[in-house]
Chain A
Amino acid sequence: MTENYSTALQTIINEFKNITPEITNTFMFKKNGEIIASTETTTEDQNKKLIATFNDIVDQAENIGDIETLTIQGADSQLSITSMNNRYLVNVSSRAADEKIVKTLTRVIVPTVVKLVDQIPELSGNELPQAKKPEVKPIEEIVLPDEQATHSESIPDVSASFSSEPMLPEPPVNQFMIEKIGGLLVPCDIVRVDSEVIAKWHDIYGDKEITQVHIETLEGKAIICRFKPIKETSHNAKGIIQFPEKVLQALQTSKGKLVIVKPVITCQGEKIVAAKNKRQRS
């Protein structure tokens, strides 16, 4: 039992009177009789007598299961003893006290705090528990820079260079169904997107250059590649994205499946980093 532990409980007990002035005495003791926290309104001798008397009942209570609560209603005041995780909380209040508040404090709040305090490992000094950093699984990114080859890469670290450019709005996310395109004149690294959607992107980003899209499958496979508008105006292109065979293979997906598409907005700073990364690769 650390000092911090006892202090935490003492603080809560001291607050009881602020919440309900009708609460006159409160203290907490362990099953072995050790007093953990107590208000100043009771003497240690008084508390010890109560513990001894209560233990006389506990000794005989085997056939009703261990005592969870004991409540004495007197004409003027009431006393309750609540068991919580090898400890007992004693609370004395006048009969005028709001029963709901008293019950909330003694049967909900304090037991919850005790449970939480128990879960925190023993602290020493000012040492605080270190929050566990969540493990971040990077999404596998596949970049198709040209028609030569398809290879996996991690997204370049943009955080290294902060741009003074104004903040851009978050890229809109669209969901499309895959349609396969083929033919001799179809470039194998370019996808085709509904021209209305492309127009919307240009409306949002003005004169920013948008040449690539980020495509992600529902399975988490992602790719960045160039795009062009869907050619035939008569074609019902709404909700459709056209993939050449190579992109389908790279994403390990097929016709009719859904993908999430958003435009890649290249800022000046990102361009510098991208150029650096390209130089390093070469």
Chain B
Amino acid sequence: MLDLRQIHKTFFPGTPNEVKALCGIDLLIPEGTFTAIIGTNGSGKSTLLNAVAGAFELDQGEIRIDGRDITPWPEHRRANLIGRVFQNPFAGTAAEMTIAENIALAMRRGCRRGLGLALRRTARAEIADRVRTLNLGLENRLDNPIGTLSGGQRQALTLLMATWLRPRLLLLDEHTAALDPKSAAQVAELTLTIIRQEQLTALMVTHSMQQAVQLPERIIMMHKGRVARQYEGQEKDRVRVPDLLAAFDQVRRREHLDPAVAALLGNQYC
């Protein structure tokens, strides 16, 4: 499904602020899997997600979805295939427009937008029906500006908008991190429900080990712009939060050693 080959990205190259954000990522995400990406701050998790979404040009490498090379596609074109939810609950919706208008925009993601009225009666009924499934009582407030809602409500709506038309790939960038614990749990549950129902392929960046262990089928651990470890299948089912923390420690310890020594020791002990 999603195929990343040798992705490299350096920000501010040749300056004192140079950041090697992604150093040769190779990744294959099979159809219909839900993958979590975890890692320390600055390990390149969000950068990787933004690379897939097309927020910047790669220095090197290739991104394919369903075998199609989308590397040269601009961000708005990739949106035909990709649904996104951002870390900032305000980033995914237009605050001064109403709930219904925001959703009307999402109903045409990747389609031609003509001069038809955006909110006909049929569209309105469809919007009310699907908003009702969120169980937030928002179906009665469709004409309120979305800026009057709480972060959790907005994030739930953004999730609904990202998946309104079934995306080939769903990108979740720490989408529960800025919410209060209760809303975060609600949004996480909603995420899982939607992904299961629609059998979506999803990539989720998260800081919460708990979430990484509970929700997805597969975990990718990143460190310093590389994929440090992957857990899938039975290994993923067995893994618990302390195991992940231990793995982090190991990755960090290895970093203190000389790369050649690390490879040698790695062969002997790991």
A joins B in a complex: no
